[in-house]
Amino acid sequence: MSLSPRRIEAAMSLAQQLKAQLTDDADDKLLLGTLEGETEVFELIDALAENVLGDERMIEIGEERLGRRKRRVERTRDLIARMLVALEIDKPLERALYTASLTRTQKPFVTDEALVPERFKVERVDTRSLGAALRHGEDVPGAMLGNPEPSLRIYTR
């Protein structure tokens, strides 16, 4: 099915015209039935939703593969470093396609987080619990709920 913007616009225009022709006291069932029978708007929504689900799955698969590749890169880099250390090669190793060199840096290691001064700690606002508190009517200084925006959820069975 072609999902061109022109086709979507035409279907939406027809659906809105039909919706405007219905009386204000028409129930949702009548509206949905009319739109289903007289337009292709739901078929287009179905096709778009299928695209979303397929793309989300492809992203999930890609992220899994990316994670595996990143782990493989780290293991391989570690192996190369261990090989250079074992061979006691401290100067840059120049090869045709790359140059490999070891650097020795000291990384911080926290032995007791409670003893680390506050200036080295980063705190963040927990927006999930903040939002829950605000939605339950709690008055939180320095925070408020924004205007509701539609958010689409697509589920598979």
pLDDT the model gives residue 58: 97
pLDDT in tens, 10-27: 999 999 999 999 877 778
CA distance 89 to 108: 25
CB atoms within 10 A of CB 15: 19
Residue-level pLDDT at 123: 84
Which pLDDT value is given to residue 154? 65
pLDDT in tens, 33-43: 999 999 999 99
- The confidence score (pLDDT) of residue 152 equals 67
Residue ranges of the chain whose pLDDT lies below 50 = none
The three-state secondary structure class of 154 is: coil
Give all strands (DSSP E) within 18-130, no chain letters: 93-94, 99-100
pLDDT at 10: 96
Question: DSSP letter at 96?
Answer: S
Q: Is 27 exposed, middle or buried (0-12, 13-18, 19+ CB in 10 A)?
A: exposed
Write the Ramachandran bin of 15: left for phi over 0, alpha for psi from -120 to 50, otherwise beta. Answer: alpha
Name the residue ranges covered by the structural domains of the chain. 5-135
At 109 the pLDDT is: 79
Give the E-state strand segments of the chain in sequence order. Answer: 93-94, 99-100
Cα–Cα distance, 57 to 135 (Å, whole number) = 32
